[in-house]
């Protein structure tokens, strides 16, 4: 069948043949709509927009109701980026065939593409009248929510669209017609936007909430969000405590646990006598309990062969909170310096050690910075060899530990305080370490980074500091070092980005293009 031939040509990008084929067909059957539209698609794809449009409109004006023409026109309008024309198409189609579930569906989708929410709502209900399937009803509900979100008048959202959506869902609930998880999600969304937090909580905790099965911890997460909105700190605390017992590495629950404990302390909350502490179980409402809880998590973790970082960092966070309230000393949690040192001993060989400790460096007094760094350096196994003046790491773990310390040194401003000569000495040392570290990365793939790349980066940044302070020649050394680094680590995006920035600053645009193609 010749039309299929046209489609074949179009699918394979052979627009010329498609057009030729169409002309052949149209000579014999000049009103073959489908062939005309497919010809229009061919024209559109060869850049003849106006011709294509004119041809398409010839067909559209006849208000076709055959599937092939409709689909072909939809494709054409989409390629022309004229989605509003698809709505007109199907509006005409459903007028002629008012009971077509398919055309009403397409009409709904067409409205969705142009964001005509009110019309979507109507199309949804029209569909539901033809075939009372839940999805169609809830498409309507969803369209109401979209209207409420996009309404210019906030009041209208809260007093018209959302309440209407709510009533629509309540009707289905009353008639026990709720089927899908998505319907419950919509209900929750409506109640949340109406700020009916208690009602939302009841839905999630009730029978309907049992449908929330796809996402892990969906019910717990939604309950937690509602407890926070309702300021129900006992529940927040009990739930976060339970979730931490399940996974003591999940940071967001430590934050909630601490937030809620301190709220309860400020409210002087005590558990009700002879009753459950809260809907979610046992509550911690004193600092002693919080301290004990964290210490227990740490004890648990220290038994594991691969301890999780969570409890250790949580302890530092607790110290920060107590300090903020002016009461750290009483609880004997220890000095942050000591805890961070212990943390480094445990996790210093992991790349994330730096970003973890970075969160808590504000707990260190600045007078202690140098001492802290020295302390860390002492525990790294480094040894000087005959060839090298400096003590070097013997394996990747030691290298990573040392890198962490170097990064911390920069963060704490230790390099910043140095004069030019000292900085240049540091640069020299960092590059020695960088080149030495390449030994460990001999088997790295082109798509991986070298273990010692950060040494090179930090050396470059120190030189950049000097350049910005007026050392003209420093920038040239930057470029050399970065190109050296890139030659060993072709995937390192930071090398590339720095090179691009520096070349641009120096107005050397030519090199900029050769460094970008790999998407780094």
Partner 1 sequence: MTTLRAFTCDDLFRFNNILVLNPWPQYGIPFYLQYLAHWPEYFIVAEAPGGELMGYIMGKAEGSVAREEWHGHVTALSVAPEFRRLGLAAKLMELLEEISEKKGGFFVDLFVRVSNQVAVNMYKQLGYSVYRTVLEYYSASNGEPDEDAYDMRKALSRDTEKKSIIPLPHPVRPEDIE
Is 362 strand, coil or helix? helix
CB of 447 to partner 1, least distance (A): 6
CB of 94 to partner 1, least distance (A): 26
Q: Which of residues 306-325 bind partner 1 (CB under 8 A)?
A: 306, 308-310, 313-314, 317
Stretch that binds partner 1, among 96-104, 193-201, 269-277, 303-311 (CB under 8 A): 303-311
Helices (H), 80-177: 83-96, 101-114, 117-130, 134-150, 154-156, 162-174
Is residue 504 within the footprint of partner 1 (CB under 8 A)? no
Nearer of residues 424 and 500 to partner 1, judged by Cβ = 500
Stretch that binds partner 1, among 157-165, 260-268, 270-278, 349-357 (CB under 8 A): 349-357
Nearer of residues 48 and 350 to partner 1, judged by Cβ = 350
Q: Are 454 and 406 in contact (CB under 8 A)?
A: yes
Q: Are strands 391-393 and 382-384 parallel, antiparallel or unpaired?
A: antiparallel
Nearer of residues 187 and 467 to partner 1, judged by Cβ = 187
Is residue 461 within the footprint of partner 1 (CB under 8 A)? no
Is residue 356 within the footprint of partner 1 (CB under 8 A)? yes
| Of the candidate residues 13, 206, 351, 381, the single one contacting partner 1 (CB under 8 A) | 351
- Phi, psi dihedral angles at 272 (to 5 degrees): -65, 140
Question: What is 294-361 written as a DSSP string?
Answer: HHHHHHHHHTSSS--SHHHHHHHHHHHHHHHTT--GGGT---HHHHHHHHHHHHTTSTHHHHHHHTTG
Nearer of residues 316 and 427 to partner 1, judged by Cβ = 316
Is residue 249 within the footprint of partner 1 (CB under 8 A)? yes
What is the pattern of x (binds partner 1, CB under 8 A) and - over residues 366-395?
Answer: ------------------------------
CA dihedral 86, 92, 97, 98 (to 10 degrees): 90
Is residue 520 within the footprint of partner 1 (CB under 8 A)? yes
CB of 404 to partner 1, least distance (A): 11
CB of 185 to partner 1, least distance (A): 10
Is residue 251 within the footprint of partner 1 (CB under 8 A)? yes
Stretch that binds partner 1, among 169-177, 356-364, 412-420, 507-515 (CB under 8 A): 356-364
Nearer of residues 99 and 518 to partner 1, judged by Cβ = 518
Is residue 516 within the footprint of partner 1 (CB under 8 A)? no
What distance in Å separates the CA atoms of residue 205 and residue 366, rounded to the nearest whole number?
49
First to last CA, the chain: 49
CB of 265 to partner 1, least distance (A): 23
What distance in Å separates the CA atoms of residue 267 and residue 314, rounded to the nearest whole number?
23
Is residue 254 within the footprint of partner 1 (CB under 8 A)? yes
What distance in Å separates the CA atoms of residue 518 and residue 501, rounded to the nearest whole number?
16
Nearer of residues 163 and 520 to partner 1, judged by Cβ = 520
What is the pattern of x (binds partner 1, CB under 8 A) and - over residues 205-244?
Answer: --------xxxx-x--x-----------------------
- Which residues are paired to 391 by β-bridges? 384
CA separation, residue 87 to residues 37, 120, 153 (Å): 17, 11, 26
Question: How many residues contact partner 1, by CB under 8 A?
Answer: 34
Nearer of residues 271 and 490 to partner 1, judged by Cβ = 490
Is residue 305 within the footprint of partner 1 (CB under 8 A)? no
Stretch that binds partner 1, among 2-10, 113-121, 164-172, 352-360 (CB under 8 A): 352-360
Is residue 358 within the footprint of partner 1 (CB under 8 A)? yes
- Which residues are paired to 393 by β-bridges? 382
CA separation, residue 162 to residues 108, 165, 209, 302 (Å): 20, 5, 20, 51
Nearer of residues 193 and 423 to partner 1, judged by Cβ = 193
CB of 311 to partner 1, least distance (A): 8
What distance in Å separates the CA atoms of residue 400 and residue 349, rounded to the nearest whole number?
5
Token pair in block for residue 102: 């398919």
Token pair in block for residue 413: 């401003």
Q: Which of residues 430-449 bind partner 1 (CB under 8 A)?
A: 447-449
CA separation, residue 376 to residues 310, 333, 498 (Å): 21, 20, 30
DSSP classification of residue 272: P
Nearer of residues 52 and 486 to partner 1, judged by Cβ = 486
> Among 348, 244, 339, 342, which residue's Cα sits nearest to residue 297?
244
Nearer of residues 64 and 310 to partner 1, judged by Cβ = 310
Q: Are 380 and 393 in contact (CB under 8 A)?
A: yes
CB of 39 to partner 1, least distance (A): 29
CB of 193 to partner 1, least distance (A): 17
Token pair in block for residue 415: 């390099």
Q: Are 430 and 454 in contact (CB under 8 A)?
A: no
Contacts 24+ apart (CB under 8 A), 95-99: 95/63, 96/63, 96/65, 97/65, 99/130
- Enumerate binding residues for partner 1 (CB under 8 A): 213-216, 218, 221, 247, 249-252, 254, 306, 308-310, 313-314, 317, 350-352, 355-356, 358-359, 447-449, 491, 493, 518-520
């Amino acid at each position: 069948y010749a039309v299929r031939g046209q489609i074949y040509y179009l699918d394979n990008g052979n627009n010329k043949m498609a057009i030729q084929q169409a002309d052949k067909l149209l000579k014999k059957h000049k009103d073959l709509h489908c062939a005309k539209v497919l010809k229009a698609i061919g024209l559109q794809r060869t850049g003849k927009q106006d011709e294509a449009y004119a041809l398409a409109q010839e067909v559209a004006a006849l208000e076709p109701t055959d599937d092939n023409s409709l689909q072909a026109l939809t494709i054409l309008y989409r390629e022309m980026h004229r989605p509003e024309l698809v709505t007109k198409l199907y509006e005409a189609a459903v007028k002629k065939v008012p009971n077509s579930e398919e055309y009403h569906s397409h009409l709904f989708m067409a409205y969705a593409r142009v964001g005509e929410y009110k019309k979507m709502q109507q199309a949804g209900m029209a569909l539901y009248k033809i075939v009372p399937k839940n999805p169609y009803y809830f498409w309507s509900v969803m369209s109401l929510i979209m209207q409420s979100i996009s309404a210019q008048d906030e009041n209208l959202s809260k007093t018209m669209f959302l309440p209407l959506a709510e009533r629509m869902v309540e009707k289905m609930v009353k008639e026990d017609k709720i089927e899908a998880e998505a319907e419950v999600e919509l209900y929750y969304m409506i109640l949340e936007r109406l700020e009916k937090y208690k009602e939302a909580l009841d839905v999630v905790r009730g029978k309907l909430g049992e449908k929330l099965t796809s996402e892990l911890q969906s019910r717990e997460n939604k309950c937690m969000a509602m407890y926070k909105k309702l300021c129900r700190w006992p529940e927040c605390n009990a739930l976060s405590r339970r979730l931490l017992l399940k996974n003591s590495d999940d940071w967001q629950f430590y934050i909630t646990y601490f937030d809620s404990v301190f709220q309860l302390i400020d409210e002087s909350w005590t558990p009700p006598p002879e009753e459950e502490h809260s809907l979610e179980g046992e509550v911690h409402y004193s600092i002693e309990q919080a301290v004990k809880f964290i210490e227990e998590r740490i004890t648990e973790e220290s038994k594991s062969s691969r301890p999780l970082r969570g409890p250790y960092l949580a302890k530092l966070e607790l110290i920060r909170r107590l300090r903020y309230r002016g009461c750290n000393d009483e609880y004997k949690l220890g000095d942050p310096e000591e805890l961070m040192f212990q943390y480094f001993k445990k996790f210093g060989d992991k790349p994330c050690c730096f970003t973890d400790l970075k969160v808590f460096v504000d707990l260190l007094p600045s007078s202690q910075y140098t001492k802290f760094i020295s302390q860390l350096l002492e525990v790294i196994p480094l040894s000087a060899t005959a060839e090298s003046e400096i003590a070097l790491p013997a394996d990747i773990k030691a290298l990573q530990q040392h890198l962490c310390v170097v990064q911390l040194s920069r963060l704490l401003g230790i390099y910043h305080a140095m004069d030019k000569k000292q900085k240049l000495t540091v640069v020299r040392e960092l590059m020695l370490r960088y080149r030495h570290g390449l030994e460990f990365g001999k088997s790295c793939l082109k798509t991986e980074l070298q273990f010692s790349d950060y040494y090179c980066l930090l050396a470059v940044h120190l030189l950049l500091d000097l350049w910005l302070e007026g050392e003209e020649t420093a920038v040239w050394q930057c470029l050399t070092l970065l190109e050296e680094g890139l030659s060993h680590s072709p995937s390192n995006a930071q090398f590339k980005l720095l090179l691009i920035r520096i070349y641009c600053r120096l107005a050397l645009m030519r090199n900029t293009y050769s460094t970008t193609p790999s998407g780094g």
